[in-house]
Structure 1
Amino acid sequence: MSPAPNVPADPRDLDLALRLADLADAITLPRFRAADLRVTRKPDRTPVTDADTAAEDAIRAALGHERPRDGILGEERGASAGAPTGRGWVIDPIDGTKNFSRGVPAWATLIALVVDGVPVVGVVSAPALHRRWWGAAGAGAWARDLPSGTPHRITVSGVSRIADAYVSTTNQETFRAEPGPVTRDGWTALTETCWESRAFGDFWQHCLVAEGVLDVAVEPAANPWDLAAPAAVVAEAGGRLTDLAGNPTYAGGHGLTSNGLLHDDVLGVLRG
């Protein structure tokens, strides 16, 4: 992820992203724990439900009407063709499909607007958790309870010592299964150094970093649509996102979010 843009995000883009989240919630929540939910497997053996595809199709249709010149990258339908590359929307209709398909309420729709490689708007909507987070360049990071809670501004924690840090990951076995700059031994070393560790996983841990509930979240395997929206929220909350090699990108195949104060020290421990 490149440095934060100097120009604030257009409020109309944030408004659109929030309306797209409302649209997705109206599709996904009624399908959650539905007796007739249809679950299939993609070529990489990850699950996909009829709610995933329906939500992404609805978001794409709305963007086609309201932002026809913008590019779109989505988990289920891939990248759009023929649109300018400098500005586009990155969508995960359901982040946490395994949870969704098993009836676990920790899942969310992720919607980001990326301009010249920088996520400038991000919305994370988790209707089964009754929670939504969002951030826009120059406008701060916010959260509210769903469906009608009052928005309140959020910021990262002020924890500055790893020994006091509260950390989370998704699935520690992924460190062993996925080749990358960090091994499971690196994760174990971090948990032994920190105050407490958990496995909240996926979008939730990054949003908890933005809220200051967690101090560090480690994602050993992630796609751009997994991290673009949380990247915008964490950045506006005062935190930092890189890949596990320390590069400032949401598209490196893995990710680390933190309150910023701990970031370099955490990378040092993870990488031995």
Structure 2
Amino acid sequence: MTADFEPDLTLALRLADAADAITLGRFRAADLKVTRKPDRTPVTDADTAAEDALREILAVERPDDAVLGEERGGVAAAGRCWVLDPIDGTKNFSRGMPVWASLIALTVDGTPVVGVVSAPALDRRWWAAAGTGAWTADVGGAVRRIAVSGVSDLGDAYLSTTDMTIFGDRLGAYLSLAEACWETRAFGDFWQYCLVAEGAVDVAVDGAANPWDLAAVVTLVHEAGGRLTDLTGADTWAGGDGLATNGLLHDTALAHVGR
């Protein structure tokens, strides 16, 4: 299995390079074009340009693979499918905050097997392929293998979410989890899942999440020794929400915030 996905991981890293060249070039640009989707979430010219560039590369390199992207659509088809979020954290990107990333995943028959998260404004990148472990390039480019924490008690756990208001009428469930944990923050979006994978955060939860928000971080969290499910506890990245933990805390956290 390891050998099967190494070429795909190499390609995913190339795709991340291509995305970085576009997104970083438009970050904090005076002429950045920002519009709103029907759900009032922002989209910039960098989002669409990056996704278009990745699709062009995939059309040449993997012409038989399906593609699902946040901006141009598609279907998470059976077989091989690339799942793209050209800029995760577009609100941050559009406001000049550096916490945003391009997310690139490959799924096979619905199971993520390759994931790359590239956050060039943070000078960070994370990646994993099934059977190869989880890795990061730190500030300055030093590469190291990462693993989840060994925290086994929620009372000692670091919790993060993206926006607690997204929980809506289930906000009480999130607050129950927060009160049970040692400390809470809102690192949000891709970053909190990467921090779970590298052991800096123990629990990350989102009351709402799209498939392209989670596909790339599934392999990363799994290869680092953790677990990612939806809030019913199902092993899916397309359930509409997400919970990632170091594994040791998963069932206990789910007992608070699960649906």
TM-score band, normalised by shorter chain: over 0.9
Residue of structure 2 equivalent to 1:66: 61
CA contact (8 A) 1:31 1:51 kept: yes
Residue of structure 1 equivalent to 2:136: 143
CA distance in 1, matches of 2:10, 2:45: 27
CA distance in 2, matches of 1:122, 1:270: 26
Q: Does 1:50 align with 2:45?
A: yes
Code of the aligned partner of 1:18: L
Q: Does the residue aligned with 1:78 lie in a helix, a strand or coil?
A: coil
Q: Does 1:171 align with 2:163?
A: yes
Code of the aligned partner of 1:159: V
CA contact (8 A) 1:209 1:234 kept: yes
Runs ≥4 residues deviating over 4 A:
none
Shift in alpha-carbon separation, 1:61–1:189, aligned structure 2, 3 A: same
Q: Does 1:190 align with 2:177?
A: yes
Cα deviation, 1:212-269, whole Å, max 9, x if unaligned, reads: 0000000111110000001110010000000011111000000000000000000002
Q: Does 1:245 align with 2:238?
A: no
Residue of structure 1 equivalent to 2:126: 133
Q: Does the residue aligned with 1:106 lie in a helix, a strand or coil?
A: coil
Q: Does 1:23 align with 2:18?
A: yes
Unaligned runs of 5+ in 2: none
Code of the aligned partner of 2:135: W
CA distance in 1, matches of 2:56, 2:152: 45
Q: Does 1:108 align with 2:95?
A: no
Q: Does the residue aligned with 2:142 lie in a helix, a strand or coil?
A: coil
CA contact (8 A) 1:69 1:84 kept: no
Aligned length: 258
Sequence identity percentage: 67
Map 1:216-255; keep pairs closer than 5 Å. Answer: 216-255=203-242
Residue of structure 2 equivalent to 1:180: none
Code of the aligned partner of 1:236: E
Query: Residue 85 of structure 1: CA displacement?
Result: 2.6
CA distance in 2, matches of 1:196, 1:116: 38
Query: Residue 84 of structure 1: CA displacement?
Result: 6.5
CA distance in 1, matches of 2:211, 2:168: 21
Higher relative contact order (CA 8 A, sep 6+): 1
Q: Does the residue aligned with 2:98 lie in a helix, a strand or coil?
A: coil
Cα deviation, 1:40-67, whole Å, max 9, x if unaligned, reads: 0111111000000000000000000000
Unaligned runs of 5+ in 1: 1-6, 178-182
Query: Residue 150 of structure 1: CA displacement?
Result: 2.4
CA distance in 2, matches of 1:92, 1:221: 16
Taking only aligned residues, the RMSD between alpha carbons, in angstroms, comes to: 1.4
Residue of structure 2 equivalent to 1:121: 114
Residue of structure 2 equivalent to 1:11: 6
Code of the aligned partner of 1:65: V
Residue of structure 2 equivalent to 1:204: 191
TM-score w.r.t. structure 2 length? 0.97
